[in-house]
Amino acid sequence: MGVTAALDYDARLMLLVKDGDSGSYALLLNKYRGPVIHFLYRMVQNQSVAEELAQEVFLRVFRGRGNYEPSAKFTTWLFRIATNLAINSLRDGKAEKNQEQLDGPAGGGAGLQVPDRRPTAEQVLVYRVKLEEVRQAIAQLPEKQRAAVLMHKYEEMEYSQIAKVLGCSEPAVKSLLFRAYECLRGRLAHMA
């Protein structure tokens, strides 16, 4: 089996981008636009900042195509760029300057998951309070713990991938996650 055959599909697409294939870039953008923006949104908790950072991620993917080496999964490389940008943004305080309110357009998902599809005012209020508590609890985590939880819970990434993104060992990621979840369980225990 050749090296190319062993590569994951996305890495093969990225190698085609490196060779100048625009169709492959469009495919990668289409596949990862949503996951990257959602990850960044949960990291910085501001929609416009998240989308601005996501633009930067995909610009860097294109501009860095010449140096791309498929030594790891494409998603590892992609989320490493996204995580670094998010952490830098948090340190610059960009997201805080534009902190969104809970009832803003990006306050949560597409809608409430209630059986009759027509939530009462009370249900909406309960949902918003619950969502705000989740957001606050995650926002209070240290940057690395936050990134690890988001990649593990929402992106369903493996420990080995998270470790490569964060530049630490796999046992360190497990320990990071264990502490982060312990903290979240404590903060959100009353919601159970």
Partner 1 sequence: MNCPIEHPESAGLLLDYCGRKLAPDTTAMLERHMGSCARCQAFRDGQMALWRSLDAWESMPVSAGFDRRLYGRLHGPHGDGPRTSWWSRFFGSPLSGPAFLQPAVPLALACVIVLAGLLVNDRPDGAVAGAPRDAVEAEQVETVLEDFDMLSQLRWQPRDATGAASRYTPFEAMPEARS
Cα–Cα distance measured from residue 192 to residue 169, given in angstroms and rounded to the nearest whole number:
32
Our finding on whether 178 is near partner 1 (CB under 8 A) is: yes
124 scored as a contact of partner 1 (CB under 8 A):
no
Segment lying near partner 1 (by CB under 8 A), choices 83-91, 116-124, 139-147, 179-187: 179-187
Query: Is 191 a residue that touches partner 1 (CB under 8 A)?
Result: yes
Q: What's the CA gap between 105 and 12, in Å, rounded?
A: 37
Q: How far apart are CA 174 and CA 156, in angstroms?
A: 14
Stretch that binds partner 1, among 22-30, 84-92, 116-124, 140-148 (CB under 8 A): 22-30
> Hey, how many other C-beta atoms are within 10 angstroms of the C-beta on 184?
18
**60 touches partner 1 (CB under 8 A):** no
**Count of beta carbons in the 10 Å neighbourhood of residue 180:** 22
Q: Confirm or reject binding of residue 41 to partner 1 (CB under 8 A).
A: yes
Residues 81-100 that bind partner 1 (CB under 8 A): none
Kindly state whether residue 145 participates in binding partner 1, applying the rule CB under 8 A: no
| 3-class DSSP assignment, residue 15 | helix
Residues near partner 1 (CB under 8 A), total: 69
Share in percent of the chain as helix, strand, coil (round to 5): 75, 0, 25
Q: Which is nearer to partner 1, 59 or 125 (CB)?
A: 59
Q: How far is the CB of 145 from partner 1 (least distance, A)?
A: 13
In angstroms, what is the minimal distance from the CB of 52 to partner 1?
9
Buried b / exposed e across 1-37, counting CB within 10 Å, b at 16+?
eeeeeebeebbebbbbbbeeeeebbebbeeebeebbb
Q: 111-130: buried (b, 16+ CB within 10 Å) or exposed (e) per residue? A: eeeeeeeebeeeeeeebeee
Query: Where do we find the tokens 């809608």?
Result: 111
Question: Which residue ranges make up the site for partner 1 (CB under 8 A)?
Answer: 1-2, 4-5, 8-10, 12-13, 16-17, 20-27, 29, 31-34, 37-38, 41-42, 47, 51, 54-55, 58-59, 62-63, 73-75, 106, 108-110, 127, 130-131, 134-135, 138, 152-154, 156-159, 161, 171, 174-175, 177-178, 181, 184-185, 188-189, 191-192
